[in-house]
């Protein structure tokens, strides 16, 4: 792949000082290799061999270790900051070195991302910048990215900004940028990538997201550092790459995740069921994706608008995030086949392919996430959930005291019981 990868490798890592007091952050060792080596090896494996390292603090250690990159199968060039230029000031020096779209990433991430898949989405966006976003288990202390249904960023909420309900999608520190963005750099001065380069693109409608469930973790704190070590021991980053088949646990919403109240129209009536956050956290720690698939005929009925439904789902993600749990994906069907009721939305009163028990939402998710449905589960509290799972070729679990006409593969009382049974916890 003829793409230049630019890695910002000048960080000090003050929050992880106890581990790297005399080492630049990208050189922190993990199982005998520095963080930066994992990044370079991941890029090289996918054909990205032209690499620019932006170095600063103790940068001589990086040069001494990697040299020109020949020993690692890549070609490395260096940009050395004589004084700190923030997270983007050094991009000024790329103006004569990069003439096409380039990949920009932080030097303290362990990641395994299908870069070609990301790049194709960036090209489709035809924009100045596409940032990779993902859910994480601490969105409450992260900046949150808000995008529309076409993945155009409409708001960037800083972690200091007051917010009530939000979708758990944060900047992962991996970006595709057009070389045209370098025209914005007039001189080498201290510049913040997020606030001064990317956020202004929102008004220009030139900033998009690429949302991914793949493995990306930063080394910002000692806790995350030790978690990454465990993940590397278990080869988790490799397995989460979307070029490999994934497996998922598909979850119904009402009666499975939140308390069943009939047609849920009022956001105040949304309440997580006991044990749900813990159950989803356990799934997050496994190799399974967590994907919600829910029929929401309240939209077709005219009881709830799309915006109101999105806000209900934002509440769900916020409540889960506060407990360290997250969803990898969410799909809903707004349709209903029966017509002739006051206040209904005529264009949504159709016999669609996505309303459970039809498998449309699962098939769409399988395409988006490269999922092997035969290795996946559909979990819900209604027969339609079980029939949907069977129609898609999934294993099924009914959350009920007893099965009715359609027999599931597993019968459990609640979501935590299901998760505990399949993980033998």
Helix, strand, coil % over all residues of the chain, rounded to 5 = 35, 25, 45
Distance CA 413, CA 362 (A): 23
Distance, CA of 317 to CA of 168 (rounded, Å): 6
- 415-423 and 276-284 helices cross at what angle (nearest 10)? 30
In the annotation, is 252 catalytic? yes
Chain Cα centroid distance, residue 415:
23
Tell me if residue 254 is catalytic.
yes
Question: CA triplet 178, 184, 190: central angle to 5 degrees?
Answer: 110
- The one catalytic residue in 101, 108, 252, 303 is 252
In the set 101, 231, 254, 381, the catalytic residue is 254
CA distance 341 to 168: 36
What is the token pair recorded at 422?
């399949």
Q: What is the C-alpha separation between 342 and 344, in angstroms, rounded?
A: 6
Written in H, E and C, the secondary structure of 285-350 is CCCEEEEEEEECCCCCCCCCCHHHHHHHHHHHHHHHHHCCCCCCEEEEECCCCCCCCCCCCHHHCC
CA proximity to 414, closest of 252, 228, 191, 264: 252
175 with 132: CB under 8 angstroms? yes
Q: How far apart are CA 98 and CA 105, in angstroms?
A: 15
**What is the number of alpha carbons within 13 Å of residue 167 lying toward its C-beta?**
22
Q: Can you tell me the distance from the alpha carbon of 44 to that of 335, in angstroms, rounded to the nearest whole number?
A: 46
Q: 129: exposed, middle or buried (C-beta count within 10 Å: 0-12, 13-18, 19+)?
A: buried
What would the two tokens of residue 197 be?
């380069």
The answer to whether the beta carbons of residues 247 and 376 sit under 8 Å apart is yes
Instruction: List phi, psi (to 5°) of 364.
Output: -65, -45
User: Tokens 């990898």 identify what position?
Assistant: 328
Indicate which residues carry an active-site annotation. Answer: 252, 254
């Amino acid at each position: 792949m003829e793409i230049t990868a630019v890695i910002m490798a000048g960080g000090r890592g003050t929050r992880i000082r106890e581990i790297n007091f005399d080492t630049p952050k990208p050189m922190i060792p993990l199982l005998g290799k520095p963080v930066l080596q994992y990044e370079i090896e991941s890029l090289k494996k996918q054909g990205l061999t032209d690499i620019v390292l932006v170095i600063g603090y103790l940068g001589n250690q990086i040069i001494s270790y990697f040299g020109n990159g020949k020993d690692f199968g890549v070609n490395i060039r260096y940009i050395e900051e004589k004084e700190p230029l923030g997270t983007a000031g050094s991009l000024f020096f790329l103006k004569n070195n990069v003439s096409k779209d380039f990949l920009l990433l932080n030097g303290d991430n362990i990641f395994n991302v299908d870069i070609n898949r990301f790049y194709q989405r960036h090209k489709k966006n035809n924009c100045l910048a596409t940032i990779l976003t993902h859910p994480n288990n601490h969105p409450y202390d992260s900046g949150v990215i808000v995008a529309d249904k076409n993945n155009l960023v409409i708001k960037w909420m800083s972690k200091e900004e007051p917010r009530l309900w939000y979708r758990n999608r944060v900047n992962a520190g991996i970006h595709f940028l057009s070389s045209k963005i370098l025209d914005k750099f007039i001189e080498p001065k201290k510049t913040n990538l997020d606030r001064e380069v990317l956020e202004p693109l929102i008004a220009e409608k030139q900033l998009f997201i690429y949302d991914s469930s793949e493995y990306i973790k930063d080394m910002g704190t000692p806790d995350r550092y030790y978690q990454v070590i465990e993940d590397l021991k278990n080869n988790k980053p490799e397995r989460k790459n979307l070029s490999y088949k994934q497996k998922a646990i598909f979850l119904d919403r009402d009666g499975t995740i939140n308390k069943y109240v009939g047609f849920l129209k009022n956001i105040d009536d949304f309440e997580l069921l006991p044990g749900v956050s813990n159950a989803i956290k356990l799934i997050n720690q496994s190799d399974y994706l967590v994907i919600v698939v829910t029929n929401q005929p309240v939209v077709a009925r005219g009881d709830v608008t799309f915006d109101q439904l999105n806000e209900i789902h934002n509440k769900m993600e916020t409540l889960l995030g506060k407990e360290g749990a997250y969803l990898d994906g969410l799909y809903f069907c707004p349709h209903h086949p029966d017509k002739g009721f006051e206040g209904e939305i005529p264009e949504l009163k159709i016999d669609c392919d996505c309303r459970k028990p039809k498998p449309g939402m699962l098939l769409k998710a399988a395409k988006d996430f490269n999922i092997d449905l035969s290795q996946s589960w559909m979990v819900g509290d209604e027969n339609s959930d079980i029939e949907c799972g069977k129609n898609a070729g999934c294993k099924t679990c009914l959350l009920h005291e007893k099965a009715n006409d359609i027999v599931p593969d597993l019968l459990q009382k609640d979501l935590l019981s299901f998760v505990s049974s399949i993980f033998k916890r």
